[in-house]
Chain A
Amino acid sequence: MSEKLLQLNGLCVRYSTRVMEVDAAKDVTFAVDRCATVGLVGESGSGKTTTALALMGMLREPGRVVSGSAVFDGVDLASLSPEAHAAFRLRRIAYVPQGAMNSLNPVIRVRSSLAHVFKEHGVRLTTRELDQRAAELMDRVGLGTDVLQRFPHELSGGMKQRVCIAIATALGPDLIIADEPTSALDVVTQRQIMETLQRARAELKSSMILIGHDMGLMAQSVESVVVMQAGQVVEQGPVRQIFAAPRAAYTKELIGAVPRLDEDPPARTSSASPAARRVADHPLLEFKGVSKVYQAPYGQGGEVVALKPIDLVLGGKDPQIISIVGQSGSGKTTLASLVLGFSKPSSGDILFDGVSTSRMSEAQLREYRRHVQAVFQDPYSTFNPFYRVDRTLRLPLKNFGIARTQVDAQPLMEEACAKVGLNPGEILDRFAHQLSGGQRQRLMVARALMLRPRLLVADEPVSMVDASLRVSILDAIRSLRDEHGISIIYITHDLVTAHRVSDHVIVLHKGDVVEAGKPAQVLRHPSHPYTKLLVGSVPWPDPDITWGDGADVGELTREIAALPRRPVRTRSEDGEFMVETCA
């Protein structure tokens, strides 16, 4: 019995089409010990998923392994027939694909999904044995047995992901390959999922390959790291060595791209430049007892409180960035859609520049639209796929009468592109799918910049962008405030970026403000247990810091849910920012 569980030797995966050949993985060599955790890190397109698929024998046409070997427990996976490979899947090697939680069969209960797993792999179980095994599995991933009788749509994202882990570990594999298991989940759920995965792995004494692009997560989750770039392994080693003394420039870049809570954010470049200062009689934006309640459809009774009544004042004298942080379901997107006018408050009133938005005339509403703009989460779907990207920039110029003709619009668009570091000649006549995620999101920032709105709502602008690009986009957003006098409401679940960019932070929990104030105070010295939990769930890009001091997240969550509502009232010294919970 060899010591290594898995040994990749010069693995090459090639996709050949009629037009060209692409080597998605080039000469990949690394090893996984028994009972070890290995991180496979790189940006999108670096070949990490391709490598995993090759191990699973799940490469799709026209991809194939052209050379090299992947010896797993004495068997070369690269030379196995599809049938022989199938016998390995799930029994010996389990794969949790990206977005696995959305691949559960929506029309069968969790119990049936588990039953299928056993049946498909030739494990004959009586009903009672199945119930027992299923209960054990649920226990392993920290879910109750009641979940077995539910359908996937009755579960939250985190619960579905746990069910997927239960399925992956059902047959006791020797190796678990998890492909970005926590992408699209918030920090607290991410921490819970990673803990679940680690516990299940330790229980089975199996190894794990964790695929991802977030160095913070890697530092907290794995023992050694393999860094991939453009299909090649550029560096590998124990996680401490990689973080303490990275050799490859690319590794340094990846580590450097993760902002840290203990770093002071860069200072405002031109704080309160005279041009940005306004004489204002009214605050820019004011919430007066605003709440949002969603009524359940006819005959189903009940209602969901998405946002409990709050007062909020955002001053107009000095541009500022307000971060609204919280998990999914905390009401932060509800708040954004209220500000943007996509939904109407259930109670209270929203005032913009002293004018109630509910009493605005048609002309005033158009003016409001012009002055309140947004950058959305998904930089791909914000572009109409039918048009070149310049239309997205030109449309508001035309509609708001800023530039009536193409000749007037062109220089404005080019100037805005140049300001966010894009080459207008290269970018403007392309279609969205031809641009990278970072370029698309920068273009949205350019659009905002061109319109010079007074308020910009940025809803998770960097959560779908590779970690290495986040900082540059955030800096572009910050320059909107510093150089162009635009106030920004920055909505995110990522506390570290909130800390980096904002002047004030509001922490939302289940539609209620639990804490607010300066980021340095709220995020470095949190007082509310929920804020503490959020801060504790941030994966530090430092293997020597233990994730959340090892506290149990589930228990903390229950404690927080049982806390009585605590009124919050925060006001900045200059009166430019105020938030208060209403009874």
Chain B
Amino acid sequence: MSEDAMTKSAELSYAMRTGALGRRLRLGWYYLIANPNLLIGMVLLLVLVAFSLGGQIFWDTRLAYPLSAPVAQPPMPGHPFGTDTAGRDLLAVMILGTVLTMKVGLIAGAIGVAIGTLLAFAAGFYGGWVDRIVRTVVDIVLTVPGLLVLIILASTLQGIISSTSMALVIAALAWREPTRQIRSQVLVMREAEYVKMARMSGSRGWQIILFDMIPNLLPYLGATLVAAVAGAVLASVGLEALGLGPRQEPTLGMTVYWMMTESAFVRGLWWWIIEPLIVLIILFVGMYLVSIGLDEFANPRLRKRT
């Protein structure tokens, strides 16, 4: 069964890397139909990307800053998403907020996975004392409640924090899970006969890691990256909702914060409440579906049908 699934996975990746473009697209499409999680997740994320990119072209995003529109207006011609109490146009806020929030998630998630991959290979592939140190450190820092550290860091930097520096703060903790997860994959793969064969063929350690192991881990690294990005977005929105985010930038989390501090619930400003929520829900559901879709691709044993 697993051999069979392995063969199918190899066949698919083979077909995707050879063959004419039309054939590749067709095979990719067949695979996506068989893996609806991945398909729906990608569609949701693409909708958001199209919305924010298209918005920046067709809408004036300078309206996302205070005092650029009449205050607290429900959706109306000229301001189809309505405005908030500080006079921001919420369509412009959503357009910029989506970009900023995705940026924070991508920077933090990518740094986390990059550090995690490095540590995981150092520990899992070379073993010995490096492994012992990395394992112990990861075990210890995993017990530290992330939000606590983030709140301390972010409140120290409050006032001067930007979305980029907040991404770095989040990245400081985002490497923990990827390190542990990737290390376990490296431990398994290190014993694969093709890795031994590469050693027999005179490849050095870093060549084996780079050219023999990482290519086969790509789908798994992809799934880990998506999960890390989702975690980073969640952390950033959490910090921002607490008021510890960049006050000058209209991110999604800051919109939630302003909405709460300005008592949007009591004042019945419904559009201000549901718009950031809908965007966040689409973002999270999309990332979640892509993550489990990639997991299914990376781990053929989970695959039910192809």
A residues with CB within 8 A of B: 340, 342, 366, 369-370, 373-374, 376, 378, 380-387, 392, 395-396, 399-400, 431-434
Contact assessment for B200 and A373 in the assembled complex, using a CB-CB cutoff below 8 Å? yes
Residues in chain B near residue A382, CB distance under 8 A: 193-194, 196-197
Is B203 part of the binding interface, using a Cβ–Cβ cutoff of 8 Å? yes
Residues 200-226 of B, flagged 1 when their CB comes within 8 A of A and 0 if not, give: 111100000000100110000000000
Chain B residue nearest to A395 (CB atoms) is B201
Residues in chain A near residue B197, CB distance under 8 A: 374, 376, 382-384, 392
User: How near does chain B come to A437, taking the closest CB pair, in angstroms?
Assistant: 11
Residues in chain A near residue B215, CB distance under 8 A: 384, 386-387
Contact assessment for A399 and B201 in the assembled complex, using a CB-CB cutoff below 8 Å? yes
Chain A residue nearest to B30 (CB atoms) is A18
Contact assessment for A395 and B203 in the assembled complex, using a CB-CB cutoff below 8 Å? yes
Contact assessment for A396 and B202 in the assembled complex, using a CB-CB cutoff below 8 Å? yes
User: How near does chain B come to A436, taking the closest CB pair, in angstroms?
Assistant: 12
Contact assessment for A385 and B10 in the assembled complex, using a CB-CB cutoff below 8 Å? yes
Q: In whole angstroms, what is the CA distance A342 to B202 when docked?
A: 13
Q: In whole angstroms, what is the CA distance A386 to B6 when docked?
A: 12
Residues in chain B near residue A380, CB distance under 8 A: 3
Contact pick for B201, options A376, A396, A431, CB 8 Å? A396
Is B264 part of the binding interface, using a Cβ–Cβ cutoff of 8 Å? no
Contact pick for A381, options B13, B192, B198, CB 8 Å? B192
Contact assessment for B193 and A376 in the assembled complex, using a CB-CB cutoff below 8 Å? yes
Contact assessment for B194 and A384 in the assembled complex, using a CB-CB cutoff below 8 Å? yes
Q: In whole angstroms, what is the CA distance A551 to B215 when docked?
A: 53
Residues in chain B near residue A384, CB distance under 8 A: 194, 197-198, 212, 215-216
Residues in chain A near residue B3, CB distance under 8 A: 380
Chain A residue nearest to B11 (CB atoms) is A433
Q: In whole angstroms, what is the CA distance A395 to B7 when docked?
A: 23
Q: In whole angstroms, what is the CA distance A380 to B6 when docked?
A: 11
Residues in chain A near residue B193, CB distance under 8 A: 376, 378, 381-382
Is B14 part of the binding interface, using a Cβ–Cβ cutoff of 8 Å? yes
Q: In whole angstroms, what is the CA distance A376 to B193 when docked?
A: 8
Contact pick for B194, options A366, A369, A370, A381, CB 8 Å? A381
A sample of 27 cross-chain residue pairs with beta-carbon separation below 8 angstroms, ordered by A number, consists of A342-B199, A369-B200, A369-B202, A373-B200, A374-B196, A380-B3, A382-B194, A382-B197, A383-B194, A383-B197, A384-B215, A385-B216, A386-B13, A386-B215, A386-B216, A387-B215, A395-B201, A396-B200, A396-B201, A396-B202, A399-B202, A400-B201, A431-B11, A431-B14, A432-B10, A433-B7, A433-B14
User: How near does chain A come to B34, taking the closest CB pair, in angstroms?
Assistant: 11
Chain B residue nearest to A370 (CB atoms) is B202
User: How near does chain B come to A268, taking the closest CB pair, in angstroms?
Assistant: 27
User: How near does chain A come to B63, taking the closest CB pair, in angstroms?
Assistant: 49
User: How near does chain B come to A395, taking the closest CB pair, in angstroms?
Assistant: 4
Q: In whole angstroms, what is the CA distance A386 to B14 when docked?
A: 8
Q: Which 4 A-B pairs rank lowest in CB-CB distance, beginning with the nearest?
A: A399-B202, A396-B201, A386-B215, A384-B194
Q: In whole angstroms, what is the CA distance A174 to B277 when docked?
A: 64
User: How near does chain A come to B253, taking the closest CB pair, in angstroms?
Assistant: 39
Residues in chain B near residue A385, CB distance under 8 A: 6, 9-10, 13, 194, 216
Contact assessment for B13 and A366 in the assembled complex, using a CB-CB cutoff below 8 Å? no
Chain B residue nearest to A374 (CB atoms) is B200
User: How near does chain B come to A407, taking the closest CB pair, in angstroms?
Assistant: 20
Chain A residue nearest to B195 (CB atoms) is A384
Residues in chain A near residue B192, CB distance under 8 A: 381
Given A376-B196, A382-B197, answer yes or no on A400-B202 (Cβ-Cβ < 8 Å).
yes
Chain B residue nearest to A400 (CB atoms) is B202
Residues in chain A near residue B7, CB distance under 8 A: 433
Residues in chain B near residue A342, CB distance under 8 A: 196, 199
User: How near does chain A come to B207, taking the closest CB pair, in angstroms?
Assistant: 8
Residues in chain B near residue A400, CB distance under 8 A: 201-202
Contact assessment for B216 and A340 in the assembled complex, using a CB-CB cutoff below 8 Å? no
Residues in chain A near residue B196, CB distance under 8 A: 342, 374, 376, 382
Residues in chain B near residue A383, CB distance under 8 A: 194, 197
Residues in chain A near residue B11, CB distance under 8 A: 431, 433
Chain A residue nearest to B17 (CB atoms) is A386
Q: In whole angstroms, what is the CA distance A400 to B199 when docked?
A: 12
Q: In whole angstroms, what is the CA distance A431 to B3 when docked?
A: 15
Q: In whole angstroms, what is the CA distance A237 to B200 when docked?
A: 49
Residues in chain A near residue B201, CB distance under 8 A: 392, 395-396, 399-400
